[in-house]
Structure 1
Amino acid sequence: MPRSRYKTLVDAFAADIRAGRLPPGTRLPTHRQLATEHGLALVTASRVYAELEGMGLVSGETGRGTFVRETSLPPGQGISQHVVAAGMLDLNFNYPSLPGQADLLRNALRQLALSGDLESLLRYQPHAGRQHERAAVARHLLERGLKVPAEQVLIVSGAQHGLAVAMMTLLKPGDVIAADALTYPGFKTLAETLHLEVLPIPVTDTGPDLPALEKLCRSRSVRAVYSMPTLHNPLGWVMDTAQREQLVAIARRHDLTIIEDAAYAFLAENVPPPLAEMAPERTVYVSGLSKNVATGLRVGFIAAPAQWIAAFERTIMATTWNTPGVMTAIATAWLDDGTVSQLESQKRADAQARQALAREVLAGLRTISHPNSYFIWLPLAEDARADQIAMALMREQVSVSPAEPFAISAHVPHAIRLALGSVDMDSLRIALTKVKSVVGYFS
């Protein structure tokens, strides 16, 4: 088929989609039907759809066909839409805040202003943080069930920076890392930026399919596994002890590095030990204070095996040199004086109340969540489409995230994630009521 004819067909489909002549959700002819109708080779018909998919105009779904996407949904919805329009009820991002947190910051700044150590905070800090600050984080981690010396703790600029430091240090372009088929979008962005190959581990409602991970490791040279064993984002699971032991055993058999993301772990109570406690020789534990304190407090931390600390320090030096001294001083003071523990307890209660409200309002819909978490995974009916529902909700002044930003496998489930922690309770009830109405309309 001459390129001009091939391009003409792509352009015709694109024009019809953009003009609304092929509305969102339209099922397009199968590859074979398209080939027959236009006298094409099957491989060329597949190429037409591949180019349209690359343009973001259609999506191919295994076993279902090729569908027109909702193109008016803002690009990056669920990842990069940090600024919410006035009047929009934000169920897309979580930035949970409690009354009185601004006063905590005012008091902390006053105390810091009176500190005799203030001059030192204006200078460069050690790359991994000052020793007493690292010790404060180590004491905090002990409360989480992770016993690690201060020398194996590094302070970073938030958990996302911690993930970047770990992945930049331990992996190189082309390396293979396994992760849950539905996972944290920030990890996906990092993996793409670092040119890593990500292999999806199938997921269930209660944890990753670990026999499938074992099979992956036997067929591919997997270097690492990225895991959220405690309060998984977006599915909310907490892996039990047996699952953690199985994951550690697989990692030891296949010499995998484990990157443990514990950003939401503070919300779960009475949980098994962290993976880093069970396999300290190969696990990098990453967390921070964005969710349990405030998103604007960009202080995070890494706990890692002793043999990697020097390399991690070099990566911190190359990326941020060190965390800001003022921010780190405030954060570690709050760790020591119990402020962080108090906020964590209050946010667990807040998340429980929001989950209870969501169960009440969304009764009758299937939901997947943890009773203490700030998010809900809402699978949709087989014939419903997440992009259409997200766009319909946006017209109702409600912002949600479709499944696509969380998916690393070829199959993207039709589901939406609801973040519960960014609006007040009255607004949350209004937003969830709209969600139920719109989902019901499309089901």
Structure 2
Amino acid sequence: MPSSSVVRLVEHYVSAIEQGDLSPGALLPTHRALAARHRVAVATASKVYARLKSLGFVIGETGRGTFVRDRPRLGEWDRHDEARASHHSIDLSFTHPPVPQQAALLRKMLCELASSGDLAALMHQQPTGGRTHERQIVADFLARARRIQTDAEHILLTSGTQAGLDAVARALRDSRRAVAVDALTYPGFKMVAESYGLALSPVPVRQGGTDLAALDAICRRNRIAAIYTMPTVHNPLGWVLDTAHREGLVSIARRYDCLLIEDAAHAYLAGVGKRVPPPLVALAPERTVYLSSLSKSLASGLRFGYLIAPSAWRRALKSALRASHWSLSSVVSAMATRWLDHGTVERIEASIRRDAARRQSLAREILAGMDVVAHRNSLFLWLALPEGVRMDRAAAALGERGIAVSKGEAYATTRHAPHALRLSIGSPTLAQLDTALRRVRDTIEGLPI
């Protein structure tokens, strides 16, 4: 049990941070200075900082001190979410990559950039789609780490996968044709489709992938411009389509002259090498737009992504990028491509896969017997609720217990959404995740049916 002095001081600093008296990034007193200021022992001051760190309010950096963390209230992301009202919630609704020592990684890169030859060039606007040498670095990375052979000419750099999807939707909007999507799909694509007036045609899903017979029927009966798909670690269902399934998708796209939109944001989690089936862009490069980023593998705030544009679509996609945001930050692309070139991204991805496997193992143990669907290395899982339990009721109950989750309706493209929750398991510490998942189980099992 913490002493009354520790509790009092923790509450004092939490209040100061939440009310804005201590701004994000503010340097806090040393342990000795805090002890002297509040007339407590140095050991007490150390316990105060340890508690503030465990709550996520401060971060300590060796040799530099203790700083207020720059963490916006969860409510600033979505004020309608039941659990996003305070710093104390455990967020299972959004995944920040579990990359240790991000600060050290960034500090080292900033020093590297500061000592580079033409630093002023990073203050200049770059061409839409990126500089040639940086696009070549991405092409080399894709050949080495993703088994994708392409050239720099077909690569366009973007401010993340979402910016790439925005460009694709913008390029499709004049087609006056629909886009086929899985009945459960990534909410970000739903948003960009809606913003450009693109109709979505839901395709039923079955265990392990898209229902190809249903997709064929939809393409035959409707005017379908494109098929949006996540063949490798689907979000939210986690599937990895086998080679035969991928070839079936390609065959349908060719039969009905559809563009394939391959979202590979989470694909790295499936692993590397011949164990993973080839991406669609390798099977049908003439009609596949392949998109990915570093937001899910390195840092959610980096906002660096890329797409591979088929020859017939390159001009339209480049024009769409220019119209939406012209080009991405030169500083961001310089950092990201250096991390790609150095092999840093591949090392971090391998580390995240190992960490994700541990998290999924923990989830399987705690949620045993519940209806869970997930890839063994993914940073999220799909939890179907028991018969009679509504997702809004479950989310509200979890919110009251300090757990933020995503409801199944956000992922549904059909009129009636399945009563399910999508849990992101990558952001909390393992100890927090253990607590959160046990709370999830207890809450759902305690709800009246």
TM range (shorter): 0.7 to 0.9
Contact 2:394 2:443 in 1 (8 A): yes
Q: Distance in 1 between matches of 2:100 and 2:83?
A: 22
TM-fit CA distance, 1:310: 2.2
Contact 1:267 1:372 in 2 (8 A): yes
Aligned length: 370
Letter in 1 for 2:130: G
Q: Note if 1:437 corresponds to 2:442.
A: yes
Query: Where in structure 2 are there 5+ consecutive unaligned residues?
Result: 1-74
Letter in 1 for 2:131: R
Contact 1:176 1:199 in 2 (8 A): yes
Q: Distance in 2 between matches of 1:82 and 1:129?
A: 39
Q: Note if 1:241 corresponds to 2:246.
A: no
Write out per-residue CA displacement over residues 350-399 of structure 1, whole angstroms, 9 at most, x where no aligned residue.
Answer: 11110011011111212100000001101111211111000000000001
Letter in 2 for 1:214: D
Aligned equivalent of 2:344, options 318, 328, 339: 339
Match of 1:115 in 2: 116
Indicate how the Cα distance of structure 1 residues 89 and 125 shifts in structure 2: closer, same or farther if over 3 A, else same.
Answer: same
Contact 2:79 2:85 in 1 (8 A): no
Letter in 2 for 1:325: S
TM-fit CA distance, 1:321: 1.2
Alignment of structure 1 residues 87-166 onto 2, 5 Å:
87-142=88-143, 143-166=145-168
- When the two chains are superposed, the root-mean-square deviation of aligned CA atoms in Å is 1.9
Contact 1:172 1:194 in 2 (8 A): no
Q: Runs of at least 4 residues of structure 1 off by over 4 A?
A: 74-84
Match of 1:401 in 2: 406
Contact 2:180 2:200 in 1 (8 A): yes
Give the match's secondary structure for 2:417.
coil
Write out per-residue CA displacement over residues 394-441 of structure 1, whole angstroms, 9 at most, x where no aligned residue.
Answer: 000001111000000012101111100111110000000010011112
Letter in 2 for 1:196: L
Give the match's secondary structure for 1:128.
coil
- Percent identity over the alignment is 46
Contact 2:128 2:322 in 1 (8 A): yes
Letter in 1 for 2:279: P
Q: Distance in 2 between matches of 1:183 and 1:376?
A: 13
Contact 1:78 1:402 in 2 (8 A): no
TM-fit CA distance, 1:294: 0.4
Match of 2:41 in 1: none
Letter in 2 for 1:133: E
Give the match's secondary structure for 2:373.
coil
Indicate how the Cα distance of structure 1 residues 81 and 97 shifts in structure 2: closer, same or farther if over 3 A, else same.
Answer: farther
Give the match's secondary structure for 2:205.
coil
Aligned equivalent of 1:424, options 420, 429, 447: 429
Contact 1:377 1:417 in 2 (8 A): yes
Q: Distance in 2 between matches of 1:421 and 1:223?
A: 35
Give the match's secondary structure for 1:354.
helix
Give the match's secondary structure for 1:171.
helix
Indicate how the Cα distance of structure 1 residues 78 and 331 shifts in structure 2: closer, same or farther if over 3 A, else same.
Answer: farther
Contact 1:159 1:300 in 2 (8 A): yes
Q: Distance in 1 between matches of 2:80 and 2:276?
A: 29
Contact 1:172 1:196 in 2 (8 A): no
Write out per-residue CA displacement over residues 73-124 of structure 1, whole angstroms, 9 at most, x where no aligned residue.
Answer: x999699899662100100111123211110000000000011121111111
Give the match's secondary structure for 2:206.
coil
TM-score normalised by the chain length of structure 2: 0.80
Q: Distance in 2 between matches of 1:245 and 1:336?
A: 32
Indicate how the Cα distance of structure 1 residues 80 and 147 shifts in structure 2: closer, same or farther if over 3 A, else same.
Answer: farther
Letter in 1 for 2:211: D
Q: Distance in 1 between matches of 2:80 and 2:112?
A: 36
TM-fit CA distance, 1:171: 3.4
Q: Distance in 2 between matches of 1:80 and 1:433?
A: 20
Contact 1:223 1:257 in 2 (8 A): yes
Q: Distance in 2 between matches of 1:105 and 1:349?
A: 22
Aligned equivalent of 2:229, options 205, 227, 230: 227
Indicate how the Cα distance of structure 1 residues 80 and 210 shifts in structure 2: closer, same or farther if over 3 A, else same.
Answer: farther
Give the match's secondary structure for 2:174.
coil
Q: Distance in 2 between matches of 1:81 and 1:273?
A: 40
TM-score normalised by the chain length of structure 1: 0.81
Q: Note if 1:287 corresponds to 2:286.
A: no
Write out per-residue CA displacement over residues 225-254 of structure 1, whole angstroms, 9 at most, x where no aligned residue.
Answer: 100000000000000000000000000000
Query: Where in structure 1 are there 5+ consecutive unaligned residues?
Result: 1-73
